[in-house]
């Protein structure tokens, strides 16, 4: 997880500014949303939190264990986000929080009318004609890793909401619309990654084909032929539905496979590179570093040391 996928921490409250050591809240209210910055400075368990609107939460510092719906508690770390429906209670543990290692997260409560308006515009202008479904938020996919676009948007919203700019409501409105779209695209891609898709949608078939042939050199023209589309139409629809180009998706899956091989085998980096269809090991190393922030060898060493600890 690179720094590009993380939400930038904001300045912590001073001891005098803290009203409580557990989920101390700083709020910024706009027309369409309310930004809340929470920080916790002491170990606590099963702390309830409920909002009247849909909330996009993102971790900035430390670790939480989130209990949501009927699911078992899960670790919640920087680089990750969770969406929570209106009036649903989160129960949160802070197993490692202390004065020297506080947790910090944001909770962005978005007005329901604004969300419905965004969904209506999206379905009117860019209907999912291939699957016969409508664009909507999926609360089954409530916990996800930020991609770079989502992280940038949340960082922008934190800056806008906490500023004194006169036009911040206008800027927030535009960023919120894009954030809702990016979250839906991320959820849609995650659902397809895990096989929860409509078999009548040719893009679902393409995702399965890519994952089954990730060790091969996959050509975009080959994929567009399998989807029975022109190359330009295939590229446009794929990016609209999943928020990334077909090539970016292929490379993402190759990097995920490379990480698995680095940790589960003793294969050399050059061998892994060739196994995944890269003809140039230096390109593989450069792209891996761009994606993960470190080289494949550094990734293997860091994870091995972490396991040993």
CA atoms of 142 and 86, how far apart (whole Å) = 13
Domain finish residue from 147, 172, 193: 193
Identify the band that residue 3 occupies on the pLDDT scale cut at 50, 70 and 90: low
Residues 58 and 149 in one domain: yes
Is 10 in contact with 104 (CB distance < 8 Å)?
A: yes
Identify the band that residue 194 occupies on the pLDDT scale cut at 50, 70 and 90: low
Whether the per-residue pLDDT at 108 is higher than 80: the answer is yes
CA atoms of 106 and 224, how far apart (whole Å) = 40
CB atoms within 10 A of CB 269: 19
Q: Give the per-residue pLDDT at 203.
A: 82
Q: Look at 11-25, 133-147, 166-180 and tell me which has the smallest mean pLDDT.
A: 133-147
Is 257 in contact with 276 (CB distance < 8 Å)?
A: yes
If DSSP states are collapsed to H, E and C, what string results for the chain? CCHHHCCCCCCCCCCCCCCCCCCEEEEEECCCEEEEEEEECCCEEEEEECCCCEEEEEEEECCEEEECCCCCCEEECCCEEEEECCCCCEEEEECCCECCECEEEEEEEECHHHHHHHHHHHHHHCCECCCCECCCCCCCCCEEECCHHHHHHHHHHHHHHCCCCCCHHHHHHHHHHHHHHHHHHHHHHHHHHCCCCCCCCHHHHHHHHHHHCCCCCCCHHHHHHHCCCCHHHHHHHHHHHHCCCHHHHHHHHHHHHHHHHHHHCCCCHHHHHHHCCCCCHHHHHHHHHHHHCCCHHHHHHHHHHHHHC
Handedness of CA 61, 65, 69, 72 (dihedral sign): positive
Domain finish residue from 138, 165, 193: 193
Average pLDDT (72-97) is 95
Residue 89 in tokens: 């209670």
- Percentage of the chain surpassing pLDDT 70? 93
Q: Give the per-residue pLDDT at 190.
A: 76
CA atoms of 292 and 147, how far apart (whole Å) = 12
pLDDT in tens, 214-261: 988 889 999 999 888 999 989 988 888 888 899 999 998 999 999 999
pTM of the model: 0.79
Whether the per-residue pLDDT at 305 is higher than 80: the answer is no
Residues 142 and 45 in one domain: yes
Identify the band that residue 2 occupies on the pLDDT scale cut at 50, 70 and 90: low
Buried b (16+ CB within 10 A) or exposed e, 141-166: bbbbebbebbbbbbbbbbebbeeeee
pLDDT in tens, 54-64: 999 999 999 99
Q: How many domains does the chain have?
A: 2
CA atoms of 142 and 56, how far apart (whole Å) = 9
Is 121 in contact with 115 (CB distance < 8 Å)?
A: no
Q: Give the per-residue pLDDT at 197.
A: 47
Q: What's the length of the chain?
A: 309
Residues 72 and 130 in one domain: yes
Residues 208 and 175 in one domain: no
Residues 159 and 223 in one domain: no
Whether the per-residue pLDDT at 201 is higher than 80: the answer is no
State the residue range of the domain holding 248: 202-308
Residues 123 and 223 in one domain: no
Identify the band that residue 195 occupies on the pLDDT scale cut at 50, 70 and 90: low
Cα–Cα distances in angstroms (integers) from residue 58 to residues 9, 64, 206, in the given order: 10, 11, 31
CA atoms of 107 and 7, how far apart (whole Å) = 12
Q: What is the CATH number of the domain that holds 246?
A: 1.10.10.60
């Amino acid at each position: 997880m690179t720094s590009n996928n993380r939400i930038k921490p904001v300045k912590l409250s001073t001891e005098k500014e803290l009203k409580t050591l557990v989920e101390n809240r700083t709020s910024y209210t706009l027309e369409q949303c309310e930004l809340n910055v929470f920080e916790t400075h002491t170990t606590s368990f099963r702390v309830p939190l409920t909002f009247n609107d849909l909330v996009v939460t993102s971790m900035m510092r430390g670790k939480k264990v989130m209990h949501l719906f009927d699911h078992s508690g899960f670790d919640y770390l920087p680089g990750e986000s969770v969406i929570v429906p209106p009036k649903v209670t989160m129960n949160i543990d802070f197993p490692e929080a202390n004065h020297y290692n506080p947790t910090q997260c944001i909770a962005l409560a978005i007005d329901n009318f604004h969300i419905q308006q965004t969904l209506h515009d999206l379905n009117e202008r860019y209907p999912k004609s291939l699957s016969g479904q409508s664009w909507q938020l999926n609360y089954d996919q409530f916990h996800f890793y930020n991609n770079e676009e989502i992280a940038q948007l949340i960082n922008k919203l934190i800056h806008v909401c906490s500023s004194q700019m006169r036009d911040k409501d206008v800027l927030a409105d535009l960023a919120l619309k894009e954030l809702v779209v990016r979250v839906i695209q991320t959820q849609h891609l995650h659902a397809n990654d895990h096989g929860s898709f409509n078999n009548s949608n040719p893009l679902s078939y393409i995702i399965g084909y890519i994952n089954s042939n990730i060790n091969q050199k996959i050509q975009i023209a080959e994929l567009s032929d399998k989807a029975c589309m022109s190359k330009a139409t295939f590229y446009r629809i794929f990016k609209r539905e999943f928020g990334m180009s077909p090539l970016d998706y292929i490379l993402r899956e190759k990097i995920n496979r490379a990480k698995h091989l680095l940790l589960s085998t003793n294969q050399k980096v050059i061998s892994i590179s060739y196994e995944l269809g890269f003809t140039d090991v230096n390109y593989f190393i450069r792209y891996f570093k761009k994606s993960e922030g470190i080289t494949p060898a550094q990734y293997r060493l860091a994870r091995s040391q972490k396991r040993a600890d």
